[in-house]
Structure 1
Amino acid sequence: MDEQDVEVLYKQALSYMEQGDKQMAIEFFNKAIAMDPNYSPAWNDKGIVHMELKEFDEAFKCFDTAMRIDSSNSMPVYNMGYVLLMQEKYEDAVHAFDMFLERYPDEKNEFYKYGLYLKAEAHYKLKQYDQAKNLLDKAIKRDRIFKEARDLMIKILQDEKNIKSTN
């Protein structure tokens, strides 16, 4: 196995991914993985393509493999949480985002902010409004104009108001 060959196949897969040719992207990710089964970036990005194709079980397997290969890389954990959220497995998504936020070193990075938001969304779906609001507060402190977080906060406050008015 030549590391340069794996990298060329991986970059070709990314190019197909950017062009929207998901099947060719998967084909080239598979070629890179065949040359080096421990090439974590190919597993992670292959999972992203499967996620875009709504092939959630396959995406989850790819992210899980990427995470097992390189436990220091937090992005497969983030992606696993996102897939679980899309599958409406909210409690599992909360746990995945807990792990991501615990492991992710850069609180100033966009992914950290979105990790807070997506975890809040899972709590919202579970009707755990206080947990969701706390997370959204943290996300909004990092980015005062974080539209998605602000919109979800408004939705939560409206839901709470509706609950109080029916009681």
Structure 2
Amino acid sequence: MHKLVRPLFFSLSVAILGGCAQTPSNHEQTQMGNLLLAEPAPVNPRSQVAIARYNQILANAQLAEEDKAELHFQRGMLYDSVGLAGLAQFDYTQALSLKPDLAPAYNSMGIHYIQQQEFVQAYEAFDSTLDIDPDYDFAFLNRGIALYYGGRADLAVKDLDTFQEKDNSDPFRVLWAYFAYNDISQEKGNAYLVSVRPELDNDHWATMLVDLFLGLKSENDVLNSLIDGVTSQKALTDRLCEAYFYLGKYHSQQGNRGIASNYFKLALSTNVFDYVEHRYARLELGRLRSTDRDPD
């Protein structure tokens, strides 16, 4: 095993679930035991230096508006990568005021609107992205996610299917489409997974997550596979961000709201700010808390 990848295991069932209002069941203790913990991702010093450099250029240089727009957008992406969402959103707004046809900036604004649960604004932002650039593939994913979280799963499946069909071997694309189908009905969700499973890349670690939702693999199978092929601490932290989010979704569907809540918190603890899974883990926590029985 690579020296940077040192799995640190703890029996977390009591410590993690102790904050829940109810006493954890034996099932919960078993499932949450022996978790692999992430080392939170450090802020990249290169990103900090790049932000400082963009600040200097924007403050001092005589630039064309189109160049300023691109610099604001690039700085906004850097702010997002270090978790400074408010500054990122400000830069995207500035970029669009200078260059109203900057498709990637609309896409990034839309993601922030989803996180703020401003879904109408999110739909409009992704519509604008695709109006400007109909081939901007990730706008289909992001608009689909906005529709899913906005309670419009029947429309979400169209966008998420479009995105999935562009790479039908990718398990992450399948999982997001599955969530929308499952929101329509459990039968549709299961049928969808069965229909797309043969095309998935069996060498991709996240295909096991699809098998988890299909009931073909157990949660322990997933947990035991998380270090397979990992060769650095960063890769491990990135993978844990993804894995813990989808395990949270799995337990949320199973009605294990306390466990789901804790998995989403673990995804957030990785500090992988620019991953889809980190962006929406807090939204998922809010959805859990908004129900009648608060897991906390």
Equivalent in the alignment of 1:26: 89
Equivalent in the alignment of 1:117: 175
CA distance in structure 1 between the aligned counterparts of 2:178 and 2:201, rounded to whole angstroms: 12
TM-score after normalising by structure 1: 0.77
CA distance in structure 1 between the aligned counterparts of 2:120 and 2:154, rounded to whole angstroms: 17
1:131 deviates by 2.4
1:123 deviates by 2.1
The letter of the residue matching 1:115 is R
Find out whether 1:139 has 2:194 as its counterpart: no
Offset from partner CA, 1:38-79 (integer Å, 9 cap, x none): 000111111112222232222222111111110011110111
CA distance in structure 1 between the aligned counterparts of 2:176 and 2:197, rounded to whole angstroms: 9
Percent of matched pairs sharing the same residue: 19
The letter of the residue matching 2:87 is M
CA distance in structure 1 between the aligned counterparts of 2:129 and 2:205, rounded to whole angstroms: 33
Offset from partner CA, 1:93-115 (integer Å, 9 cap, x none): 1111122234x3x555xxx4322
Aligned match for 2:145, one of 78, 82, 86: 82
1:145 deviates by 4.6
The letter of the residue matching 1:124 is N
1:34 deviates by 0.6
The letter of the residue matching 2:100 is P
C-alpha spacing 1:11/1:154, structure 2 compared with 1 (3 Å)? same
C-alpha spacing 1:40/1:142, structure 2 compared with 1 (3 Å)? farther
Between the two proteins, the alignment pairs up a number of residues equal to 150
Give the unaligned 5+ runs of structure 2. 1-63, 217-296
Superposed, which structure 2 residues align to 1:84-103 within 5 Å?
A: 84-102=147-165
CA distance in structure 1 between the aligned counterparts of 2:139 and 2:133, rounded to whole angstroms: 9
Name the structure, 1 or 2, with higher relative contact order (CA <8 Å, separation 6+). Answer: 2
Question: Larger Rg: 1 or 2?
Answer: 2
CA distance in structure 2 between the aligned counterparts of 1:146 and 1:139, rounded to whole angstroms: 7
| Greater helix content | 1
TM-score after normalising by structure 2: 0.46
RMSD after superposition: 2.3
Offset from partner CA, 1:13-43 (integer Å, 9 cap, x none): 1122122222221111011001110000111
C-alpha spacing 1:99/1:36, structure 2 compared with 1 (3 Å)? same
For the 8 Å contact 1:116–1:138, the answer to whether it is kept is no
Give the secondary-structure state (helix, strand or coil) at the position aligned to 1:88.
Answer: coil
